[in-house]
Amino acid sequence: MIELRSTLAGRITLAVLSTLILLFLALPIIVIVVTSFGKDAFGSFPPEAWTLGWYKQLFADGSKWPAALSLSALVAAMTTVFSLILGMTAATALVRSELPLRSAVYGLVLAPLVIPQVVVALGLFLLFEPASMLGSPIAIALGHTVLASPIAVMILMATLKGIDERLEDAAASMGANRLTVWRRITLPLAMPGMVAAGIFSFVTSFDEFFISQFLSSVDTVTLPVQVFNVLQYNVDPSVTAVSAILIAVAVVALALVGVVRKLSGSGKQDGLLPTEPGLGLPAGSETAS
């Protein structure tokens, strides 16, 4: 391989700079996890003494956190179901059929990723407010599905493209009807993709702030909204522990996706994480054409 050799000084500069940038990305997360175990919540870093007190305080009597946590989990679970149903049908339509106006449908599906979330949130507020559905978990889940379904569609489209269509045709040729083919052939083969899409939908909803903020009422507050309120208005040191839990949920979810992909053997060509095609990235502009 003919390669332009880099100078030693250049390599050192680049190495130092990129280490600093990686630190820039990782530091806020590390700081939260470490501080959440520190005795003095807002004190020095690294903490001088350690405690699990903040975690215990979360579940103490009169704490608002368990309610917020269970609401978030409920909303995220509903979002996962909705977005898997929409994702699977939409991916099937986009990958496995002759769809008139295919690019228009695809553009519509991906559009929520590039439209400012505040606009989506405002629109949903105007939709649900007259119906007096503000604060209803279903309304929040329906809103989150707008953001989660494009991600599910992209993952499931990639999954379906990876399944040999001839397997389905073979089953059909031996007399299996569409439903049987789907249930016995497509679904088992698409399972890793479904799990990944489900996990990403769950996390998208679990972490979503702006739509929840607009659609919540005084007594239905999701976890991120509660965290935001605490950060903005009153100081509650246990918020660090909640943040650490949110980090743990995201990391566990990503690890799960990694494991599922590894087990199914589909992870090899796609790298460690399903970052392509632009997972969570506003890929709409290029792909919508």
Partner 1 sequence: MAGTALAPTPAPGAPTPAPGKRGLGRALSDRRTRFGLLNATPVVVYLLILFVYPIFSTLMLSLKGEEGGFTLHWYTDAFQGANLEILLTTLRISAETSLLALVVGFVLASAISRLKPLWAGLAMLVVVVPHFISALVRTYGWIILLGDNGVVNNALTDMHVPGAPVQLLYNEIGVVIGTTAVMLPYTVLLLFAVMKGIDRRLLAAAASMGAGRITIFRRVYVPLVAPGLVNAGVLCFILCLGYYLTPALMGGEKQTMVASLIDEQVMKQNQWNGASALGIILLLLTFAGLLLLRLLKSAGEALRNRGTAS
Residue type, 38: G
- Cβ 61 to partner 1 shortest distance, Å: 25
- Cβ 9 to partner 1 shortest distance, Å: 11
Closer to partner 1 by Cβ: residue 4 or 174: 4
- Cβ 31 to partner 1 shortest distance, Å: 5
Closer to partner 1 by Cβ: residue 70 or 285: 285
Closer to partner 1 by Cβ: residue 74 or 99: 99
Closer to partner 1 by Cβ: residue 67 or 99: 99
Closer to partner 1 by Cβ: residue 189 or 211: 211
Closer to partner 1 by Cβ: residue 61 or 98: 98
- Cβ 207 to partner 1 shortest distance, Å: 4
- Cβ 94 to partner 1 shortest distance, Å: 7
- Cβ 10 to partner 1 shortest distance, Å: 8
